[in-house]
Every structure is written in structure tokens, then in C-alpha cells.
Structure 1
Amino acid sequence: MIIDTHLHLIYRDRLSYPWLAGVPALDADFTEETYAREARRLGIAGALHMEVDVAAGDMARETAMIEALAGEAGSLLVGAIAACRPEAPDFPAYLETVLATPFVRGFRRVLHVVPDDVSEGALFRENIRRLAGAGLNFDLCVLPHQIDKAIALADIAPDVSFVLDHCGVPDIKGGGFDVWKGPVAEIARRPNVTVKLSGIPAYGSESWTLEDLKPYFAHVAESFGFERMVWGSDWPVCTLGGGLSTWIDATHALLSGVSLEDRRRVLSENARRLWKVAPKA
């Protein structure tokens, strides 16, 4: 049984996605129905929707849309990780609105699409600290050279639970292991950070193999341990690296030498604990 902690849904007739124009392969509709048809066959029993960097004016509408989809018969959606702008003065009011929606289990602000100093601002950091009292996790989406920015956030908000998306976004295709490994080991020293095993097929070459992924998996496993690792599909971005079925197969292969207890932790139990969610099936 798997809980997917990183599902993106795209409905271009309902929301605005400015970044899609630069990624033609993803400039299409990716619906919950399409995802669920394949996901159920692969053992996925619940999914958290990850915000898709919609236009700022659509952030609340995205959450409302996902919650409505979750209420439809047969939906696998069990919660949402919502978009936010901690650098904005109106963040406290936005947080109060979100707290009235138990469906939201956490926040994300993609940091590699904004200047590096955005997360260093006093207001940004003050608002991140607010999440401790709210019981909401914060997903960190940064490039390897920005992991020090993520470390700084984890340090100034030790009572907030952070999740490092996509294993820290290593440049697998470009052979970026040495640049990436040190920062990942350093952020793993923070007990309030969990790593998300997701995204990495899209960072390899078109002909990536399991052997290409193994060193990266081994390093995050050694650095974080299986008690602080969760799994995410990163669908539909994973279609750039072979698709959902391919990533599930690779995941099982990577975990083949791991105890059953640790596999359960990575694939579902850690997600249940962090986001307080349960499978739908």
C-alpha cells in the first residue's frame, strides 16, 4: 500500500499556470481520473495533492478545486499541500483562512523560481515560524546550490516540520553527485527535515537506468534513514522520465534490499504520521 505525497493535477480551463508555456511536454490537462486509473493498479491507495505553482491569484481556487475533486466518488485524494507566499504581508490572514480548511495538510513555496534572497527576508522567516503553531509542514523545493537556504529555514524554525522535495533535485544527467551530496548530508543533520523520494527519474538522461539512480538513493537513505523518508510520484512530471509505472517499478527495485518495516515506513507510514492522512482503500 502506497501513499503518494506529491501529486500534481493540471486543469487549464479552471486555473492559470504561467510556467507551463515553457514546458511544452506538460502543457496539457492532467486529471485526477487519469492519474487514479493507473495509480490504483500500482497499489497507490491515497494521494496528497502538491500545489502546481499556479498564478498567485489562483492559489485559494486551486485548493478549493482539489478539495472538491476529493469529494467525488472514487477519488484517491486525501489532502492538499497548498501554495503560499510567506514573503507577503497578508500571509497571516491567508494562514487563518487555510486553517479553517482541515483538508490542507501543509504548504509549499517553490524557492528555485524566485531570487535566493526571498527566503532570507525577515517577514518570510517570521511567517515560516508561524507554521509551528499551526501544525502544518513546509515542503522545500530547492536546487543543490540553494540547500543552504533550506538549512537556514530549518534552523530558524526548529519546531516546524520540513520536507526536502525530490531528494534535493540532483543533476543526475549532468553527473552532479559531488556537488549535491555534501549539502544533502548537512541538511539531514536537522531532525526536523524529512526527505522525499520523488522526482529523480526526470533528472536523468532519456535512457536513465536503475544504476544511475542507485547512488542518489543510497546517499539519502544513509543521510536521513528510512524513518525520515517519504515517497512521491511527482506525476505528471514523472512522465518526462518514463511515467508513473516506471517510477513505481524503480522504487520497488531501489527498496528491494530494505526490510519490510522500512519499506512500509517509506511508502505509507511516515506519510500518515507527518500529514495525518489515511489511505482511501
Structure 2
Amino acid sequence: MRIIDTHLHLIYPDRLSYPWLKGAPAINRPWPADTYWAEVKTLGIEQALHMEVDVAEPDIESETAFVLGLPGIVGCVAACRPELADFPRQLDRLLAIGGTRIKGLRRILHEVDDAVSTPQLFADNLGRLALHGLTFDLCLRADQLHLGLALARKLPEVTFILDHCGNPDINGIGLDPWRADLRAIAGLPNVQGKVSGIANHCDPDWTTETLRPYVEHVIDSFGWDRVVFGSDYPVVTKTGTLTRWVESLREIVGSDSAENQQKLFAGNAERIYRLA
């Protein structure tokens, strides 16, 4: 099964600053491209889309330029600050750096106050993405899915990708109310679902059956044409390995048709992120 990883984080502390890593000691070290490719060469992962790693704001453009030169990286989702009046110029600078290899933008919202994404300026700035065919990845906690729903409703012309299955609190409150909130945001045709980033919400002894109801609900809610695969490497290593995540996901969807599995693992990514 050919796989495109739509959510790879590569970490180079000698070149870029990652303030948040001080609070994540399990992964607070370099995670270079060669280490990643050494693990995934037997998994079928052929290409990867680099996902911004919440670098310090002055490093946003430097990160974008650097990762696009790394092996196997077919494009990137760059960091941005849509809450700022300077966003149009930031967007222009990013496009000047990466051109069509910039496939989308992301502003991590689960680490900032909810009020960051609610002003009209934020929506107006994101509306500019449609002019360039760029997507916007939504990184929200499960209790913030209403924020993504509001943005996607305001901007039907923008394609949103909901990261990490909407970050369900698997170890805490479980399936509900995440299940209904996920169904609601999936009801908007301009929102796609990323099957990624849920193993790290579990204890290290998680099994395929721990993840199954969450993965199946995301696929059932979005449908096979609107889901993509992401590794969330190296965050996935906090409670397991990338190999274990891929093998479990293959088991969960293994009874579905080869056509549907290929949509999840590669085909939809090529279309949604314009990789083909």
C-alpha cells in the first residue's frame, strides 16, 4: 500500500527554535529527516508533507525555506499568524520562499486563547488562502471544535483539514461529546479529516482496539473521499512508534476495499494538498 504522510514534523534544534519542546521532554531532541526515512522505508511511505512545528515566530520563514530542501519532502504546510494585520505580507513572503511547494498554512490554536481565532480579521486573512489554492490545517482540542466549525462556515471557499481526528480525549472523557462535535464539523463539505495524532492521547499500552472506534467514526463521518493519513511523527513516539501506528491503522481499515484504503493512505492527499 503506497502511503503519503501528510503530517511529518522534523526537528532541528541547531537551526531553529522550538519553545514548546521544553514542556515535552520525551521528544525534546533532534528528529532529522534521515532518522524518519530509515524507519518508514519498510512501511510503504513514499513521500511526506512537512507540517510546521510551531517554531518561534521569528523562525517561521526560516523553517519553511529549510524543510523544503530536505529529502523526500514534496511540500509543506507553513506556520502563519492570521490574527495579525501583517498577515497578507507574511503570506506573500512565504509564497516567495516556497511557491507552489507550499500546500497550506497552519496556526496551532489549542495552545492559544480561543479569542485568537474569533475576530473577523482572522477569517478575512484566511479567506486569502483560496486565491492561492492553499488549505488551512485546523489543530484544535476536542472542546474547541466549535471554533473550527465557525471558521469553516464563514469561509466555504477555503479547504480546511481537521488535524488528529479532532484530538479526542481518549484517556479522559472518551468518545462523547467528541463524537457529536466531530460529526457536526464533518458535515461541512469544505472540511476534510486527518487520521493522525490519536495514539499520543492514550497510555503506552494502547492497542488497535483502543483506537478503532475513533478512526471508524472519523471515516464514517467524513467518508472515504475526505480523509487523509498523517504520522504525527515524532509526537507519535510519546506512547509508541510510527510503525505501530501504521500497522494498527492498516488493521482497522483492512476489511475495507483496496480502493478505499488507497484513498486514505495516498489518493486523497494528492488531490486535497495538490501533490499530484
Please give the range of the TM-score, normalised by the shorter of the 2 chains: over 0.9
8 Å CA contact 1:132–1:159 kept in 2: the answer is: yes
Structure 1 residue 94: Cα displacement: 1.2
Aligned to 1:40: 41
Structure 1 residue 176: Cα displacement: 2.0
User: Where do residues 75-114 of structure 1 align in structure 2 (5 Å cutoff)?
Assistant: 75-100=71-96, 101-114=99-112
8 Å CA contact 2:197–2:232 kept in 1: the answer is: yes
SS in 2 for 1:120: coil
Q: Normalised by the size of structure 2, how large is the TM-score?
A: 0.97
Alignment of 1:50 with 2:51, yes or no, is yes
**Distance in 2 between the 1:13 and 1:76 partners?**
21
Point out where structure 2 has 5 or more consecutive residues left out of the alignment. none
SS in 2 for 1:222: helix
8 Å CA contact 2:208–2:249 kept in 1: the answer is: no
Structure 1 residue 103: Cα displacement: 1.5
User: Where do residues 216-255 of structure 1 align in structure 2 (5 Å cutoff)?
Assistant: 216-255=214-253
Structure 1 residue 175: Cα displacement: 3.9
8 Å CA contact 1:99–1:134 kept in 2: the answer is: no
Aligned to 1:129: 127
**Distance in 1 between the 2:221 and 2:76 partners?**
27
Aligned to 2:148: 150
Identical counterparts, % of pairs: 48
Aligned to 1:264: 262
Which residue identity does 1:182 align to in structure 2?
A: A
Alignment of 1:275 with 2:276, yes or no, is no
Structure 1 residue 221: Cα displacement: 1.3
RMSD (Å) for aligned C-alpha atoms = 0.9
Point out where structure 1 has 5 or more consecutive residues left out of the alignment. 70-74
Aligned to 2:13: 12
**Distance in 2 between the 1:11 and 1:195 partners?**
28
Structure 1 residue 205: Cα displacement: 1.3
Per-residue CA deviations over 1:71-114 (Å, capped at 9, x if unaligned) read: xxxx2110000000000111101111222322211000000111
Which residue identity does 1:79 align to in structure 2?
A: G
Structure 1 residue 241: Cα displacement: 2.3
Q: Normalised by the size of structure 1, how large is the TM-score?
A: 0.95
Which residue identity does 1:48 align to in structure 2?
A: L
Structure 1 residue 154: Cα displacement: 0.3
**Distance in 2 between the 1:166 and 1:159 partners?**
22
Per-residue CA deviations over 1:165-194 (Å, capped at 9, x if unaligned) read: 000000111242112101100001000000
**Distance in 2 between the 1:212 and 1:27 partners?**
27
Per-residue CA deviations over 1:13-52 (Å, capped at 9, x if unaligned) read: 0000000000100100000010011112111000000000
Which residue identity does 1:99 align to in structure 2?
A: L
Which runs of at least 4 in structure 1 moved beyond 4 Å after TM superposition? none
Determine which of 202, 207, 210 is the counterpart of 1:209. Answer: 207
**Distance in 2 between the 1:205 and 1:171 partners?**
12
8 Å CA contact 2:110–2:140 kept in 1: the answer is: yes
Aligned length: 273
Which residue identity does 1:159 align to in structure 2?
A: E
Structure 1 residue 242: Cα displacement: 1.0
Aligned to 1:72: none
Structure 1 residue 262: Cα displacement: 0.5
